[in-house]
Amino acid sequence: MSQAEASQDVRGIGKFWAAIRDDEAVAVVSMRVPNDVDFKQYQERARALLECVSEDVKHGEIVEIAGGERVFVQRPNHANRSKRKADAPVKPKSPKIYKLARHLS
């Protein structure tokens, strides 16, 4: 799927951490927590849980694209930060898109 396809008719489902295996999101945990939960502790435990499935854990968003297909879109850290000369144009990285495992779709 091209980036152009991913940017058309996209509906965000939510932010998640995902365990990635063979370019596929095989397990996900939501980043949404109640206000009374310590987010840092939740984050550490969620990532540790996902690392049981795969050492490759990413953060991003699950989106629904045209046709109802859901994909995991990894968001790059600090998209506009780069090692560049002051007069060079900013060129943010493109987000990486992973299919969701069949049991998550």
What is the DSSP annotation of 15-43? EEEEEEETTEEEEEEES---TTS-HHHHH
CA–CA dist 98, 5 (Å, integer)? 13
Enumerate the domain spans of the chain.
3-104
Q: What is the pLDDT of residue 78?
A: 63
2 against 87, higher pLDDT: 87
| pLDDT band, residue 75 (cuts 50/70/90) | confident
pTM equals 0.77
Q: Please state the length of the chain.
A: 105
